[in-house]
Amino acid sequence: MAPAPIEIDHLTKRFGDVVAVDDASFQIEEGEIFGFLGPNGAGKSTTIRCLLDLIRPTSGSCRVLGLDSRKDAVEIRRHLGFLPSDLAMYPNLTGRQTLEFLAHLRGGVDWAWVDELSERLDADLSRRVAEYSSGNRQKVGIIQAFMNRPRVAVLDEPITGLDPLVQLEFHTMLREHAAAGNTVFLSSHTLSEVERVTDRVAFIRRGRLVAVESMDELRDKAVRRLRLEFAAPVPAADFLAVPGVHEASADGLVVTVQYEGSMAPLLRAATDREVLSVESGSLDLDEMFLEFYRDEVGEDVLAEEASEEERAAGRGSR
């Protein structure tokens, strides 16, 4: 049986007294798009840097394609594509010159494939990097991550700066890459991004791995928000008895409901009145952690975070 493309085993990384990653363990399978989700500062980039031997773990180990990330770092890079969250490029080189420089470091690439990637992302490689917008710099970063057709692609906040149409094309590229038997490790703080393309997702918060869920499991458990506008005021209490509803509040003609599971019972209750509009969306990331993983995170952590927020608010008012 072939080894998992990525294995994180009891990884811990400390910076002095600060624990950036705390005893994290998970593995990613071949042909999988795996999401790594958490707020900024949660430990996502630290985990990735340990995986790629850019920094050394305090304890624990990482393996890529069965190879030790420290002992076999050079060999791993032959099969790896990486997009960092803070990609830096030489400002006086054009996009193509940047890719040529990186291609030489790799020992050459298929330039027909590079041109295909550039066309799909609508990337203008003739301009200097200094003239690029953040979105155009990100396109060059994505191209360099995929130009060697890597068996494992590690992408840290990849859609930063991309317009919606390019995001859609990029997500299509990810699905094609995984369908060919390759593996994608996608780090993000945007729930909607990982929800669109990933097979499984790991949640990390304050350096601790909270859970690893398949997207199907996550959708079944996730708390969502529905905003309903009616022709006449409706009491929020009318929705509290609906199966799956957690919370409901009313403001004039608008009722906002938080629910989990199927939307059907809620819509049946709503259509007993005259509905003018319906808007649906997931809770944002912080709400998701506070609601969905309340038991796993623990009330002590939530209380600690609430105290920190109160102290921060007090500092800001001075």
Domain shared by 60 and 203, yes or no: yes
The pLDDT assigned to 229 comes to 94
| Residues 122 and 231 reside in one and the same domain | no
| 191 and 100, same domain (yes or no) | yes
Regarding whether 167 and 274 lie in a shared domain, the answer is no
State whether 113 and 215 are in the same domain.
yes
Residue 292 pLDDT grade (very low, low, confident, very high; cuts 50, 70, 90): low
Higher pLDDT residue, 169 or 217? 169
Q: What pLDDT, in 10s, does the model give residues 266-288?
A: 888 898 899 999 888 766 555 66
pLDDT for position 283 = 60
The DSSP 8-state label assigned to residue 128 in this structure reads B
- CA 317 to each of CA 233, 305, 308, 314: distance values in angstroms, whole numbers, following the listed order: 37, 18, 14, 5
State the pLDDT at residue 71.
95
pLDDT tens profile 207-263: 999 889 888 777 666 677 889 999 999 999 999 989 989 889 999 999 999 887 788
* 298 and 196 together in one domain: no
Region of 301 please: left (phi>0), alpha (psi -120 to 50) or beta: alpha
Tokens of 133: 């917008």
Q: Which residue is associated with the tokens 């890079």?
A: 77
Q: Which of 167, 196, 219 is the last residue in one of the domains?
A: 219
273 belongs to a structural domain: yes
Residue 47 is assigned to a structural domain of this protein: yes
Are 20 and 78 contained in the same domain? Answer: yes
CATH number for the domain including 104? 3.40.50.300
Among candidate residues 167, 197, 219, the one where a domain is terminated? 219
Task: Assign 3-state DSSP to the chain and report helix, strand, coil percentages, each to 5.
Answer: 40, 30, 30
Reply yes or no on whether the pLDDT at 302 is more than 50: no
Residues 271, 211 share a domain: no
Pairwise CA distance, residues 302 & 306, whole Å: 6
Q: Evaluate whether residue 178 is within a structural domain.
A: yes
Q: Which string of DSSP letters, residue by residue, matches 7-35?
A: EEEEEEEEETTEEEEEEEEEEE-TT-EEE
Does residue 173 belong to any structural domain of this protein? yes
pLDDT (0 to 100) of residue 318: 44
> Looking at per-residue confidence, does 287 or 21 come out higher?
21
Angle at which helix 164-179 crosses helix 111-120, to 10 degrees, equals: 140
Provide the number of structural domains found in the chain.
3
Give the pLDDT score at 260: 79
Closest CA to 81 of 162, 9, 186, 171: 186
- Centre a 10 Å sphere on the Cβ of residue 138 and count the other Cβ atoms it contains: 23
Least confidently predicted of 108-117, 164-173, 247-256, 258-267: 258-267
Domain containing residue 234: CATH number: 3.30.70.100
- pLDDT tens digits, 139-165: 999 999 999 999 999 999 999 899 999
Mean pLDDT of 185-210: 87
Residue 260 domain flag: yes
Three-class SS state of 217: helix
User: Is it the case that residue 305 has pLDDT exceeding 60?
Assistant: no
pLDDT of residue 190: 76
Residue range 291-300: mean pLDDT, rounded: 50
**Can you give the residue range of the structural domain that contains 259?**
223-282
Place 304 in a pLDDT band, splitting at 50, 70 and 90: very low
Are 269 and 181 contained in the same domain? no
- Whether 128 is in a domain gets the answer yes
Does 1 map to a domain?
Answer: no
| Residue 120: exposure state from Cβ atoms within 10 A (0-12, 13-18, ≥19) | middle
Q: Using pLDDT thresholds of 50, 70 and 90, give the confidence band for residue 108.
A: very high
Do 201 and 244 reside in the same domain of the chain?
no
Q: Are residues 174 and 290 in the same domain?
A: no
| Pairwise CA distance, residues 102 & 98, whole Å | 6
Instruction: Please tell me which residue, 47 or 299, carries the higher pLDDT value.
Output: 47
Q: pTM here?
A: 0.76
Domain ends where: 178, 193, 219? 219
Q: Do 210 and 236 fall into the same domain?
A: no
Please name the amino acid found at residue 215. M
Residue 309 has pLDDT above 50, yes or no: no
Q: What is the mean pLDDT of the chain?
A: 87
